[in-house]
Amino acid sequence: MKHAGLLCMTLLTVMLAGTIPVSESLAGTITGMVVDDTDGLPLPGANISVKGTPNGSISGQDGRFRIENVQQTSPVIVTSYLGYVTEEFPVAFSGDDTARLTIRLQPGLLVSEEITVVGTMLKGQAKALNQQKNNLNVTNVVAADQIGKFPDANVGDALKRIPGISVFGDQGEARFGHVRGTEPRFNSVTVNGERIPSAEAENRTIQLDLVPADMIQTIEVTKALTPDMDADAIGGSINLVTKVPAEERISLNAGGGYNLIEETGGGRYQVGGTYGNRFSDDRLGVLFSVSYDDNDFGSDDIEAEWDEDDGNILLDEFQERTYDVRRIRRSFSTALDYRFNDNHVLKFTGIYNWRSDYENRFRTKYKDLLDDTFEIVREVKGGTKNDARLEDQKMMSFALGGEHDFGRLDMDWQASYSKASEDRPNERYLALKTEVDASAAAIDISNPSKPFVSLPSGISGGVSDNGLWELDELTEEHQYTEDIDKNFALNFTYDVSDEFTLKFGGKIRDKQKRRDNEFYEIRTC
Considering only CA atoms, give the Rg of the chain.
29
Catalogue the long-range contacts made by 442-449 (C-beta closer than 8 Å, 24 or more residues apart): 443/315, 443/369, 445/314, 445/315
Please choose, from the candidates 243, 222, 230, 219, the residue with its C-alpha nearest in 3D space to the C-alpha of residue 194. 230
CA torsion, ordered 431, 432, 437, 439, to nearest 10 deg: -60
Q: What Cα–Cα distance (Å) separates residue 73 from each residue in 78, 90, 350, 418, 525?
A: 16, 11, 43, 49, 93
Q: Binning pLDDT at 50, 70 and 90, where does residue 23 land? A: very low
pLDDT of residue 113: 59
SS (H, E, C) 57-110: EECCCCCEEEEEEECCCCCEEEEECCCECCEEEECCCCCCCEEEEEEEECECEE
pLDDT tens-place string over residues 309-364: 787 888 999 999 999 899 999 999 999 999 998 889 999 999 999 999 999 999 99
pLDDT of residue 355: 93
pLDDT averaged over the chain?
Answer: 82
pLDDT tens-place string over residues 109-158: 655 555 555 555 556 667 777 777 777 677 777 776 667 667 777 888 88
Please state whether the predicted TM-score (pTM) of the whole model is above 0.75: yes
* Burial (CB count within 10 angstroms: exposed 0-12, middle 13-18, buried 19+), residue 77: buried
**Is the Cα dihedral 36, 331, 400, 190 positive or negative?**
negative
pLDDT tens-place string over residues 256-287: 888 777 666 788 899 999 999 999 988 999 99
pLDDT of residue 131: 73
Angle at 275 between CA 271 and CA 277, to 5 degrees: 170
Q: Binning pLDDT at 50, 70 and 90, where does residue 248 land? A: confident
pLDDT tens-place string over residues 167-224: 888 888 888 888 888 888 888 888 888 888 888 877 788 888 888 888 888 888 888 7
Please choose, from the candidates 382, 381, 383, 378, the residue with its C-alpha nearest in 3D space to the C-alpha of residue 363. 378
Please choose, from the candidates 76, 69, 82, 58, the residue with its C-alpha nearest in 3D space to the C-alpha of residue 28. 69
Summarize the confidence of residues 365-389 as an average pLDDT. 87
Evaluate if residue 494 carries a pLDDT over 50.
Answer: yes
379 neighbors 430 (Cβ within 8 angstroms):
yes
- How many Å apart are CA 208 and CA 243, to the nearest integer? 18
pLDDT tens-place string over residues 39-79: 778 888 888 888 888 888 888 888 888 888 887 778 889 99
DSSP 121: G
Evaluate if residue 519 carries a pLDDT over 60.
Answer: yes
199 neighbors 181 (Cβ within 8 angstroms):
no
pLDDT of residue 483: 93
DSSP 182: B
- How many Å apart are CA 252 and CA 291, to the nearest integer? 10
Please choose, from the candidates 94, 99, 92, 68, the residue with its C-alpha nearest in 3D space to the C-alpha of residue 405. 68
pLDDT of residue 525: 63
pLDDT of residue 114: 58
Q: How far apart are the first and last CA of the chain?
A: 29
Q: How many CB atoms lie within 10 A of CB 163?
A: 8
Q: Binning pLDDT at 50, 70 and 90, where does residue 392 land? A: very high
- How many Å apart are CA 461 and CA 453, to the nearest integer? 11
Q: How many CB atoms lie within 10 A of CB 247?
A: 18
Evaluate if residue 462 carries a pLDDT over 60.
Answer: no
User: Domain map of the chain by residue range?
Assistant: 263-525
CA torsion, ordered 276, 278, 283, 289, to nearest 10 deg: -10
pLDDT tens-place string over residues 74-104: 888 999 888 788 888 888 887 778 888 888 8
pLDDT of residue 24: 43
Please choose, from the candidates 214, 267, 249, 210, the residue with its C-alpha nearest in 3D space to the C-alpha of residue 63. 249
50 neighbors 66 (Cβ within 8 angstroms):
no
Evaluate if residue 411 carries a pLDDT over 90.
Answer: yes
DSSP per-residue letters across 416-452: EEEEEEEEEEEEEEEEEEEEEEGGG-EEE-SSTTS-E
- How many Å apart are CA 206 and CA 422, to the nearest integer? 12
- How many Å apart are CA 509 and CA 485, to the nearest integer? 7
